[in-house]
Chain A
Amino acid sequence: MTHEEALELAAPFVLGALGPDEEQAVREHLATCDLPHPEFEELGSLVPLLAESVRQVDPPAHLRDRIMAAAARDLEARTAGRAEAVGAQPEAPTAPGVEREAARRRQRFIFARPAWALAAAAAIVIAALGVWNIRLQGDLAVAQAYRDRVDQVLAIARQPGSTVAILSGGQGGQNTGLAAVATDGTAAIVLRGLPPTTGSQVYEAWVIVGSNAPVPVGALAYSDGVGYLATNVGQVGAGATVAFTKEPGPGATQPTPPILSSGVLSSAPS
């Protein structure tokens, strides 16, 4: 594109009225041509005023939550990208289109301010726990189920005074998860990477306060490697341990070693 041709297109360019190819050609000209282009500045300076001249309408309040949640997810993806690079994971096919679609669907959850800050912190935790490895294995449904459960745990975690534990235990990101306990004892726990149980076996959750005996708080509902439990564990504060064992059946009163996964409750970020 010659200098004269570019100048000719200055007005439609600043108004955004060129097709993609023409627009790109003008951009390339501007980036490489040393001659002055006063026409672009003169006409372009009007454009921000046009943008501001429209009738002002406030967006709905939920748009902020949508955007902040999406940005938190984006931050999570970046963190996961770095974690994957560091962990030297084998090359795995990704499905960016599918993942983006899934990300869009996930944006439905509603956070009250500043809950997204907690979501962001938790998102980093989730990434570190290896949920992205699930994605890389191509099982989006499992990743989605896990995330849905994580969202439920976060709903408790963002209540004032809640405590949160990051759960870990197995090798290579197995048996990892998140537990949250509200001040009234309402608790939700999610755990992933669990091998399937057989027969009447269950994954049992235990709360251990100080040197007291472990108290059973319920069996995890298990599906596709993801365990979830919503229960009330009573008033346990920061410092208590949440742990999991595999038991031969429901109703165990003492844990059967080994402990598959555990974490210590601490105050939730706010």
Chain B
Amino acid sequence: MDPAGSSRFRSAAPADDADQATLARIAGGQLDALEELYERYRTMAYSIALRITADAALAEDVVQDAFLGAWRNAARYAKGRGSVKTWLLSIVHHRAVDAVRRRRPTTELPDREAVPPPPLTLPDVWPEVSAALDRDTVQGALRAIPAVQREAIELAYFGGLTQQEIAARTGIPLGTVKSRMRLGLLAMRRNLLGETTVEVDASSLPDGASGPAPRPGADA
């Protein structure tokens, strides 16, 4: 099953209830629950790991590390600090970034055996909105922001570079790197929020957007 690809619009809340039940069983040491979680998120997890590492074997190691991290630390998942999916994908992201930084011997590295940190993100403040977004829409919102902001976000999130490394690589002052990341994320957010507002002004849509997206569950 590919929960992300099979239907255009996802319904987040019921899925997360199921995920939390699965995670509770994982915390109880039930291997079949881990397999359930893996079946649900294997494609998403592998895709993000592969995007960051650009190495199929390393991506497998990352996904294995991440699911074992989830297996060992399921009891540490804090409800109310983001969905299980967000938690899991943040572990994958963190492990993938660790892996690529490890390939760069000059980079300062965290303790390899440290337990996975809590998610980098705080609660999804607009789950209803984000749940209604499909991949094309998000990609469109990313493409629609200024190129220098997109570059900063991509070098950080997909490249695994620290802000200092981005500054060094691009020859841009650190403060500018930080503000490009921030402005880029805020611009994406504005684009995406606009995308899901029915009373949207069509002229404000990014190029390639065909119109307002249906509300969550509209085609469920």
Could you tell me which A residues sit within 8 Å of B by CB distance? 8-21, 23, 27, 37, 40-60, 63-64, 66-68, 70-72, 74-75, 78, 114, 116-117, 120
Contact = CB atoms under 8 A, between A and B. Distances in A.
Contacts of A68: 31, 34-35, 38
A235 B155 CA distance: 63
B93 A51 contact: yes
B85 A48 contact: yes
A63 B181 contact: no
Contacts of B56: 60
A50 B138 CA distance: 7
A11 B85 contact: no
A63 B156 contact: no
A56 B138 contact: no
Contact of B46 (A8, A47, A49, A58): A58
A59 B43 contact: yes
A13 B32 contact: no
Which 8 pairs show the lowest CB-CB distances between chains A and B? A44-B121, A17-B156, A59-B46, A11-B182, A11-B181, A15-B156, A20-B110, A53-B138
Contact of B64 (A43, A66, A120): A66
A14 B120 contact: yes
Nearest to A47: B121
A67 B63 contact: yes
Contacts, number: 189
Contacts of A54: 47-48, 50-51, 158
A120 to B, nearest CB: 5
Contacts of A74: 68, 71-72
Main secondary structure of the interface of B (DSSP, over half): helix
Interface residues of B, number: 77
Contact of A12 (B5, B71, B178): B178
A75 B29 CA distance: 7
Contacts of B122: 37, 40-41, 44-45
Most buried by B among A41, A52, A64, A116: A52
B99 interface: no
19 contacts: A10-B182, A11-B185, A16-B93, A19-B162, A27-B118, A41-B122, A43-B186, A45-B122, A46-B189, A47-B90, A48-B83, A54-B47, A55-B47, A56-B47, A58-B43, A59-B45, A59-B46, A63-B60, A63-B63
* Chain A interface SS verdict (over half): helix
A116 B135 contact: no
Given A15-B153, A47-B120, A66-B60, 6 more contacts: A15-B157, A16-B156, A19-B107, A64-B38, A67-B63, A116-B31
A41 B125 CA distance: 7
Nearest to B50: A57
Given A47-B157, A56-B4, A71-B31, A19 B189 contact: no
B23 interface: no
B17 interface: no
B43 A56 contact: yes
Given A55-B47, A117-B31, A8 B178 contact: yes
Contacts of A50: 138, 142, 153, 157-158
A56 B2 contact: yes
Contacts of A18: 162-163
Contacts of A56: 2, 4-5, 43-44, 47, 135
Contact of B48 (A14, A51, A120): A51
Nearest to B108: A19
A14 B121 contact: yes
